[in-house]
Amino acid sequence: MKPYVSRRRATALGLAALSLAVTGMAVGSPASAFTLKGKPKIAFIYAAAINDGGWDESIDAARKKTAAALGLPIATSESIPEDATALRAAIDLYVKHGYNIIVGTSYGYSDALLKAAKDYPDVAFLGASGTTNASNLESFYPRTYQGWYLAGMAAGAVTKTNKLGMLGGYPVGVVNWDLNAFIRGAQAINPKAQVIGIYTNSWWDPVQEGKVAEAMLDQNADVIATDLSAASAPNAAEKRGAFAVGYQIDMKSYAPNGMLTSVVFKWENYLTPTIKAIIDGSWKPDPYGAFVSIKTHTVDLTPISDKVPPEVQAKIAAARAQIEAGTLTPFDGPVLKQDGSVAVAAGAKMTDDQLWSMDYFVQGAIGKMPAPQK
Amino acid sequence: MLDRIVLSRRQNIPWHLRSATFIAGLALGLGISCLILLAAGVSFDDIVDDLITQVFFTADGLAQTATQAAPLILVGLSSAASAKVRFWNIGLEGQVWWGAIAATWIGLDAPGWLPWRLPLLLLISAAAGAIWILLPLWLKLRYRVSEVVLTLLLTNVAFLSVQYLLFGRWKDPATGFPVSPMIDPAARLAQLGWGSVHAGLILAAVIAVMLWVLFDRTRFGFYAAAVGLNTDAALASGLPVVSAVTCCVLMSGALSGLAGGVIVAGTEYHLTTFIADNYTFSGITIAFLARFSPLGVVAAALAVSGMYTAGGTLKVFYSLSEATVVLIEGVILMSLLLARFFSLYRIDLTHWRAVR
């Protein structure tokens, strides 16, 4: 029972999934296609309340679209804690009732999903922001940094003070690459742009996020971007007449004048084709997890504000086309760390392993990366 | 004609009355819960066929209840041990966190002879929990600082320590996620071959019996009870108040720490930012349901654990919202506490004339 004592932390941790993801550590052989036995019965398991205003809500919106597209009902259960016993019990019950496609929605489920995948080889498992993979389990996460690079370009174009601010949750790879991509996007348009990067040390704390945004505005930042699921930081920017960039869902209603764009999840663009493939017998889970590009629109941008000049909008569209074609990545060398050392040499490209283990700011960041790896 | 109701507190509550009211309270709570479920659109047949059968009559459901019960018994005992001497330990989770940190450390890094690793892990996790409660204990004894505020706030400090380790030293090097590596298999508690039930359950039950002997059958237990009933009177009578409080409170911290060790070594095998969630609430609830009696804690922990199993089952079977599940859990707890009232007090319905 979550409430009473630690409701806030429980919710916040449920949202933790927000920036958590797939790894390239998986074992598992390049499997033959997975064959579903019996009629498809699909269930989604959430770690927090479905209407949490962020992560779970964005996945549940996709669930409804996927269910409509497939013409199948999809069962749900919410607030199943991220401990081995509780999740396993839920999986056992679903399997016993004939469910054979099970989607877990938090990185905290990863190990339990892997164990269940081994114990139930006839059931297909998918793990949003998971870290484990097998012949019947695929973790999935979109390359959010691609969206943040484009959003950074928009922000770099409108700033007058050349100072932007961006909030992150915890210094993990999936958050760090969003911040760094935002910095590099801004500098691609405006080489003088600098970004104040601050970690709130929580996944969901609207009051603190609003205060952090105000502190950034006090330091002359005139664009506030948030990598978190509360909209209080964009809202604080709106009140001071500054610009904002939202995340996860379209946050325009919280900053109708200043919102440049929101980097949003559209999970149905991964879920619908993947579940279709599972049903028709052509599904081959990626042994390294599905780390999908912005090309799939699993991560996407909402329409960019007309406050961004047309020529910059054209540049953003061109950059997006190059990213989708694979000719541009936000971390093409040279990539210099904040301290001036080289992360990626000129002419080289950053590997996925380097992305996941990113634990530094790139040049152009103001502030210090907390708790770097020893 | 009913004229007045006389409540009188029972001096000694026979165990059969205690058990009978407990069962009656559970039945009342379950009855009301069934009504809520019917109102939520679940059919009566489904409740009987799925829910009750699944939770109470299948090996899976019972195994889940038993597995979850092991740490719940320990935090229940922890809360009861400090409440005995009127020390309100509202920081069970903080001690659980430190127990889990210590257990992870031993499980990952301890050198030396492997057979010693598990006992060492359990011992060090208990010690870590006890150390975490030292400061509030000392401030309470020395300066009468409120332990309620201190233990509660220190939980946040403990959680920040977990974050510090999981985002630094122990973070997953490949993904940067806050998940520690798996502990050495030699440091894990043995599985008993029934679901995920592990030796921690036996350990918890043995400790409950030992505490029952300590509190109900020894001079120390008598001192502790006297301090709990009236500290000033105990002090005036020359009882060793300070040492009784110290022992009970350190025991409380150690038991919560041990719960953290049992969670890591019994079911999770690694440290994450989720594993101690909710143990403060559960531990205090269990201790109050059991009226601080160590053997009662075992029964109450099993009941609360069964309730959690049922909650998970409801969500899976009927997609019920967390809110509905929490409502049902609340109703069951309220019924149990209400039933306790009838065992605590004798109720006489008398006629006015008869009294006059």
In a domain? residue A374: no
A214: region left, alpha or beta (phi > 0 left; psi from -120 to 50 alpha): alpha
Q: Let me know whether A54 and A164 are in one domain.
A: no
Q: Residue B221 and residue B227: Cα distance in Å, rounded? A: 10
Q: Is B163 in Cβ contact with A93 (below 8 Å)?
A: no
Q: Let me know whether A102 and A44 are in one domain.
A: yes
Determine the average pLDDT of the residues in A236-257.
95
More reliable by pLDDT, A91 or B60: A91
pLDDT at B349: 75
pLDDT at A372: 52
In a domain? residue A274: yes
- Contact status of B171 with chain A (Cβ, < 8 Å): yes
In a domain? residue A339: yes
More reliable by pLDDT, B122 or B116: B122
Q: Let me know whether A89 and A232 are in one domain.
A: no
A59-109, pLDDT tens digit by residue? 999 999 999 999 999 999 999 998 888 899 999 999 999 999 999 999 889
In a domain? residue A118: yes
Q: Is A370 in Cβ contact with B311 (below 8 Å)?
A: no
Contacts A26 to B, Cβ<8 Å? none
In a domain? residue A116: yes
Does the pLDDT of residue B193 top 80, yes or no?
A: yes
The alpha-carbon gap from B161 to the nearest alpha carbon of chain A, in Å, equals: 12
Does the pLDDT of residue B87 top 60, yes or no?
A: yes
Q: Let me know whether A27 and A89 are in one domain.
A: yes
Residue type, B347: I
The DSSP output letter for B319 is -
Q: Is A107 in Cβ contact with B316 (below 8 Å)?
A: no
The alpha-carbon gap from A5 to the nearest alpha carbon of chain B, in Å, equals: 6
Determine the average pLDDT of the residues in B302-320.
89
Determine the average pLDDT of the residues in A127-154.
96
Q: Let me know whether A71 and A48 are in one domain.
A: yes
Q: Let me know whether A288 and A353 are in one domain.
A: no
Q: Is B64 in Cβ contact with A170 (below 8 Å)?
A: no
- Residue from B67, B175, B262, B336 to probe the interface with A (highest A Cβ count within 10 Å): B175
* φ and ψ at residue A44, rounded to 5 degrees: -110, 135
Q: Is B322 in Cβ contact with A176 (below 8 Å)?
A: no
Q: Is B317 in Cβ contact with A93 (below 8 Å)?
A: yes
According to DSSP, the residues that pair with B5 across neighbouring strands are B349
Q: Is B267 in Cβ contact with A85 (below 8 Å)?
A: yes
* Percent of chain B's residues with pLDDT above 70: 97
Q: Select the residue of A1, A43, A108 nearest B278 (Cβ to Cβ).
A: A1
State which residue of chain B sits closest to A6, comparing Cα positions.
B278
Angstrom CA distances, B99 to B76, B121, B215, B255, B347, stand at 15, 9, 24, 9, 45
B228-267, pLDDT tens digit by residue? 999 999 999 999 999 999 999 999 999 999 999 999 999 9
Q: Let me know whether A92 and A210 are in one domain.
A: no
Contacts A114 to B, Cβ<8 Å? none
* Percent of chain B's residues with pLDDT above 90: 63
pLDDT at A12: 34
Q: What is the DSSP string of A120-143?
A: -TTSEEEEET----BTTEEEEEE-
Q: Which B residues 78-137 touch A at CB under 8 Å?
A: 93
Confidence of residue A204 (pLDDT cuts 50, 70, 90): confident
Q: Which B residues 20-49 touch A at CB under 8 Å?
A: none
Q: Let me know whether A230 and A126 are in one domain.
A: no
Which runs of consecutive H residues, i.e. helices, occur in chain B? 15-39, 44-46, 53-57, 59-84, 92-109, 117-143, 147-166, 200-217, 219-229, 231-236, 241-263, 279-289, 294-318, 322-344, 352-355
Determine the average pLDDT of the residues in B136-157.
96
Nearest to B200 by CA among B134, B126, B250, B274: B126
Determine the average pLDDT of the residues in B195-201.
94
The DSSP output letter for B189 is P
CATH code for the domain of A26: 3.40.50.2300
List the single range of B125-139, B201-215, B309-323 with lowest mean pLDDT. B309-323
Rg over CA atoms, chain B? 22
In a domain? residue A262: no
Angstrom CA distances, A190 to A105, A185, A187, A340, stand at 38, 9, 5, 19
- Contact status of B256 with chain A (Cβ, < 8 Å): no
Residue type, B264: V
Residue type, B283: G
Q: Let me know whether A281 and A305 are in one domain.
A: no
A228-237, pLDDT tens digit by residue? 988 999 999 9
- Residue from B152, B157, B274 to probe the interface with A (highest A Cβ count within 10 Å): B274
List the single range of A142-146, A193-197, B148-152, B313-317 with lowest mean pLDDT. B313-317
State which residue of chain A sits closest to B319, comparing Cα positions.
A77
Contacts A173 to B, Cβ<8 Å? 175-177
Q: Is A356 in Cβ contact with B316 (below 8 Å)?
A: no
Q: Select the residue of B278, B309, B315 nearest A5 (Cβ to Cβ).
A: B278
Mean pLDDT for all residues in chain A: 89
Q: Residue B328 and residue B322: Cα distance in Å, rounded? A: 10
pLDDT at B353: 57
Mean pLDDT for all residues in chain B: 91
The residues, ordered by sequence, that sit 6+ positions from B205 with a Cβ below 8 Å of its Cβ are: B73, B298
Q: Let me know whether A29 and A95 are in one domain.
A: yes
State which residue of chain B sits closest to A97, comparing Cα positions.
B317
- Contact status of B322 with chain A (Cβ, < 8 Å): yes
Does the pLDDT of residue A16 top 50, yes or no?
A: no
- Residue from A60, A85, A360 to probe the interface with B (highest B Cβ count within 10 Å): A85
List the single range of A24-33, A311-320, B80-89, B280-289 with lowest mean pLDDT. A24-33
pLDDT at B352: 57
Q: Let me know whether A177 and A213 are in one domain.
A: yes
The DSSP output letter for A15 is G
Contacts A90 to B, Cβ<8 Å? 312, 315-316
Q: Is A174 in Cβ contact with B176 (below 8 Å)?
A: yes
Determine the average pLDDT of the residues in A167-178.
92
Contacts B270 to A, Cβ<8 Å? 111
Confidence of residue A15 (pLDDT cuts 50, 70, 90): very low
Determine the average pLDDT of the residues in A112-136.
95
Strands A137-142 and A335-336: unpaired
Contacts A168 to B, Cβ<8 Å? none
pLDDT at A3: 30
State which residue of chain A sits closest to B152, comparing Cα positions.
A5
The alpha-carbon gap from B262 to the nearest alpha carbon of chain A, in Å, equals: 13
pLDDT at A7: 31
A330-344, pLDDT tens digit by residue? 999 899 999 999 999
A23-70, pLDDT tens digit by residue? 333 444 445 789 999 999 999 999 988 887 778 889 999 999 999 999
Three-state SS for A49? coil
Q: Extract the tokens encoding A344.
A: 């990626």
Three-state SS for A168? strand
Does the pLDDT of residue B224 top 80, yes or no?
A: yes
Rg over CA atoms, chain A? 20
The alpha-carbon gap from B183 to the nearest alpha carbon of chain A, in Å, equals: 14
pLDDT at A374: 42
pLDDT at A320: 97
Size of interface A-B (CB pairs under 8 A): 147
Q: Which domain holds residue A182?
A: 144-257+299-366
Farthest-apart Cα atoms in chain A, separation: 61
The yes/no answer to whether this complex scores an ipTM above 0.85 is: no
Q: Residue A356 and residue A175: Cα distance in Å, rounded? A: 10
Does the pLDDT of residue A316 top 80, yes or no?
A: yes
Residue for token digits 């509660």? B152
The alpha-carbon gap from A53 to the nearest alpha carbon of chain B, in Å, equals: 15
**Number of folded domains that form chain A:** 2
Q: Let me know whether A108 and A229 are in one domain.
A: no
In a domain? residue A41: yes
In a domain? residue A373: no
State which residue of chain A sits closest to B179, comparing Cα positions.
A108
